[in-house]
Structure formats: C-alpha cells, structure tokens
C-alpha cells in the first residue's frame, strides 16, 4: 500500500519542493535546519488532513503546481491565498506506471523517474463543467484521475499541499526537506515525478477548514544581538523605512531594497565581524546597508552583523513576501 504511487506531478509552477519541519540539531556540522518556510501554514495543511507533526508537504511558489491523483486521497492546502481547481480526469492509463517496479519510482531515486512519465497531452480538455474550485484552508477529496492545480494567489507566495499520510522521500539527517542552499534532501519536483505516501497519518482531523492567516504586517522583531553597530540612528532607519522586497529573494533569505540603507556607526564602519551562528529570522546588514532577512535555508554562520531577529510568526509572514511587496518592521516591545 505504502509503495503505491499516489500522485503524478504534471507541472510544478516556478518551484515546488518537499518540506517538513526540518532537520534542526545539525548546525554544528554546517547543516542548517531548513524545513517549511511558513511553519504556520505548513502545520495548518497537515492538521487539515490529520497528519502527525513532521509529515512532508509540497511547498509551491505562486501558482501552477498541477498533480494528478492515482487513487482516492484526502488533500488540503494552506498558506498564500491560492485557490485550487480540481478537474476530474480519466484514470491514468496503466501503461504510464506498471512498466517499472513501484520501488523504482520512489523519490529516493528521482533520476530514474524522470522522463518516463511525460504528462499526457490534452489533459485540460472537456471537463470544465465539472471543475471544482476550493479556497485555501480547506481539505478535499481527490478521486483517481482527478487533476488538482494550485492557482495564482492574489497575495502571498507559498502554498502548502498536504496529503493524508504525508509525502514520502528518503530522509536525510531525519528530514525530507529540500535545502536549496546545501542541496541536502530531495531534489526540486519536476514534471513526470511520481510521489508516494509516507506513514504519517495520525488522528482524523477535527476541522475541514482553517482561517487563512491575517497578514501580520508590519513584521515584529526583537533588537540585537549586534544593534550596537548601528546605534539608535540605524535602528530608527530600519523601523521607519518602507522597504521593497527584491526579486533576488529565496528560501535562504529575503533581500530588501530602499534608496537609503541602515548605516553603521563610525567606529564600526570598517570593522569585520568574526563569523557567528545565525538563526532563521535574523536580519543581517551587509556593508550596502540593505537588510537581508534569513529564512529557513540560511547559512549556519554569517559574517555580517545582525541588527534584529524576527519573531517566529513574523518569519512565516516574511516567507510569504513577494518581490515588489512593501515590508515594514516594528519593535516587538
């Protein structure tokens, strides 16, 4: 049962990764915790299908992820305000799957998968009247052959797709998360991948709907540890500027732009910081003065001073910022 394919990936959108609650505990070996960028949304998606904490979800950026169910499955989405469309389709022809053994199709062995399962043409045709639309935050049942598409969200960046049982992949240091900085964990999903279920089903869900998060902006942060490099003037600049999210942002960090950055105090102008441990939510100020918010795939150590650190809730909110979005900060206290 567990080895049976559950989903065909037909399209991935800009980027779709498997993520779980990460691999904390290995930072002393140079391994960052990684895991779902928006922990709150990830947990909500798993809760909607009754998974145990730690089950792997698909984390997809913007819209376009399209998957086809191979059998009856309970799924849910949460995160960015993306609705999903379900189009009933003919059950997949057996010729797409049975040629290779089930175990050869596990995500364990992605390279052997690719290219064997080209998406059938004409998937879109003919079923418009039977389409179902679901807002985010709901669980829904897919039947064999159903094709689910994550639509372009009106706001936000990352949507989590959970399936009852969780997605399977080889665990690396205890986690199925893709770490885009170090390359640990499963490769990014590609059309033709076939996903299987893990064994992470828990209690049945108590709810079939979770409220989408209310955008908690401005982002709340706690001052320090290296705020002394910037003084009260730098602190004021950080809090009073309306920053713009740069296109050069990813799971490692969100880069912010503004005509004026956060300047160092004169005594620190040319000082080098000895590399020190970093955390998710750390706001580094490089010499340009333009802040970088570290997200879950941040490097374990960094050499630029951290002026402040976001609260856990604000890290989730920061992970939903799109290039071009405004970003503001406020002191936690």
Partner 1 sequence: MSSAQALPAEAPGLRILAVGESAVLAECTEPGRFLPLYTRMRHAAVPGVVDLVPAEVTLLVAFDPAVTTRARIIEAVEAAAAQSSTVHGIVVDVRTRRHAVVDIAVRYDGPDVGDVVRSLGLAGIDELIELHTQQLWTAAFLGFAPGFAYLRGEHDRLDLPRRATPRTTVPAGAVALAAGYCGIYPRPSPGGWHVIGTTPAPLWDAAREPASLLEPGSRVRFHRAG
* Least Å from the CB of residue 27 to partner 1: 4
- 3-state SS class at 145: coil
| Of residues 161, 191, 300, 178, the one with CA closest to residue 250 | 178
The site for partner 1, by CB under 8 A, has a size of 41
Does residue 299 touch partner 1 according to CB under 8 A? yes
What are the residues facing 57 on neighbouring strands? 19
Return the range that interacts with partner 1 (CB under 8 A); candidates 34-42, 67-75, 220-228, 320-328: 220-228
- Among 227, 249, 295, 321, which residue interacts with partner 1 (rule: CB under 8 A)? 227
Using the contact rule CB under 8 A, the part of the chain among 119-127, 139-147, 300-308, 317-325 near partner 1 is: 300-308
Q: Does 223 bind partner 1 (CB under 8 A)?
A: yes
Per CB under 8 A, the list member of 103, 141, 275, 330 interacting with partner 1 is 275
Identify the bridge partners of residue 219 per DSSP, sorted by sequence position.
329
- With a CB cutoff of 8 Å and minimum separation 6, the contacts of 25 are 33, 174
Rounded distance between C-alpha atoms, residue 174 and residue 179, angstroms: 13
Among 127, 190, 222, 322, binds partner 1 (CB under 8 A): 222
State which residue, 142 or 237, has the beta carbon closest to partner 1: 237
Minimum distance of partner 1 from residue 310's CB (angstroms): 7
Chain-centroid distance of CA 113 in Å reads 23
The CB-of-155 to partner 1 minimum distance in angstroms stands at 26
Q: How far apart (Å, rounded) are the C-alpha atoms in residues 6 and 25?
A: 31
Binding partner 1 (rule: CB under 8 A), the pick from 225, 286, 289, 323 is 225
Q: Is 277 among the residues that bind partner 1 (CB under 8 A)?
A: yes
CB of 207 to partner 1, least distance (A): 22
Residue 121 class from Cβ within 10 Å (0-12 exposed, 13-18 middle, 19+ buried)? exposed
Alpha helical stretches, state H, 259-311: none
How many angstroms separate the CA atoms of 45 and 316, rounded? Answer: 14
Closest-CA residue to 219 (of 297, 325, 301): 325
**In the complex with partner 1, which residue's Cβ is closer, 150 or 308?**
308
Binding mask 12-51 for partner 1 (x = CB under 8 A): ------------xxxxxxxx-x------------------
The yes or no reply on residue 311 touching partner 1 (CB under 8 A) is yes
Give the total residue count for the chain: 333
For the bound state, the minimum distance from the C-beta of residue 33 to partner 1, rounded and expressed in Å, comes to 7
Question: DSSP letter at 264?
Answer: P
With CA atoms as reference, report the closest residue to 284 among 239, 213, 224, 324: 224
Residue list 151-180, contact with partner 1 (CB under 8 A): 172-173
- 287: helix, coil or strand? coil
> Of 15 and 278, which has the nearer Cβ to partner 1?
278
DSSP string across 205-257: PS-SB-PPPP---SEEEEE-SSGGGTHHHHHHHHHH--EEE-SS--SSEEEEE
Name residue, tokens 């829904």. 140
| Cβ distance to partner 1 smaller for residue 208 or 248 | 248
Q: How many CB atoms lie within 10 A of CB 266?
A: 8
- Tell me how far, at minimum, the Cβ of 301 lies from partner 1, in Å: 4
Q: How far is the CB of 307 from partner 1 (least distance, A)?
A: 10
User: Could you say which of 300, 317, 321, 327 contacts partner 1 (CB under 8 A)?
Assistant: 300
CB of 72 or CB of 275, closer to partner 1: 275
Q: List residues binding partner 1 (CB under 8 A).
A: 24-31, 33, 172-173, 182-184, 221-228, 231-232, 274-279, 281-282, 299-301, 306, 309-312, 333
């Amino acid at each position: 049962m567990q080895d049976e394919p559950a989903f065909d990936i037909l399209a991935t959108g800009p980027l779709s990764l498997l993520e779980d609650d990460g691999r904390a505990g290995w930072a002393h070996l140079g391994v960052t915790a990684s895991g779902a960028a928006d922990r709150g949304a990830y947990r909500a998606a798993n809760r909607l299908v009754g998974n145990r904490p730690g089950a792997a979800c698909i984390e997809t950026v913007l819209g376009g992820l399209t998957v086809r169910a191979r059998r009856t499955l309970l799924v849910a989405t949460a995160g960015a305000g993306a609705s999903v469309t379900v189009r009933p389709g003919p059950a997949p022809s057996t010729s797409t799957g049975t040629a290779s053994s089930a175990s050869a199709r596990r995500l364990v062995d992605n390279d052997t998968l690719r290219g064997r399962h080209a998406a059938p043409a004409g998937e879109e045709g003919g079923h418009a009247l039977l389409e179902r639309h679901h807002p985010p935050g709901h669980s829904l049942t897919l039947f064999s052959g159903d094709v689910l598409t994550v639509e372009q969200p009106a706001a936000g960046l990352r949507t989590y797709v959970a399936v009852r049982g969780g997605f399977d992949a080889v665990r690396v240091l205890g986690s199925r998360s893709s770490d885009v900085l170090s390359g640990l964990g499963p490769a990014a999903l590609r059309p033709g991948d076939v996903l299987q279920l893990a064994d992470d089903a828990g209690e049945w869900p108590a709810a079939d709907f979770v409220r989408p998060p209310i955008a908690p902006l401005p982002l709340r942060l706690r001052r320090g540890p290296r705020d002394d490099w910037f003084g009260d003037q730098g602190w004021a600049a950080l809090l009073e500027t309306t920053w713009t999210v740069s296109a050069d942002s990813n799971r490692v960090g969100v880069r912010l732009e503004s005509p004026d950055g956060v300047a160092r105090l004169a005594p620190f102008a040319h000082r080098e910081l000895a590399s020190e441990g970093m955390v998710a939510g750390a706001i580094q100020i490089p010499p340009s003065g333009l802040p970088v918010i570290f997200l879950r795939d941040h490097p374990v150590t960094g050499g630029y001073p951290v002026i402040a650190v976001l609260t856990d809730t604000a890290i989730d909110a920061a992970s939903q910022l799109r290039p071009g979005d405004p970003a503001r900060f406020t002191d936690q206290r």
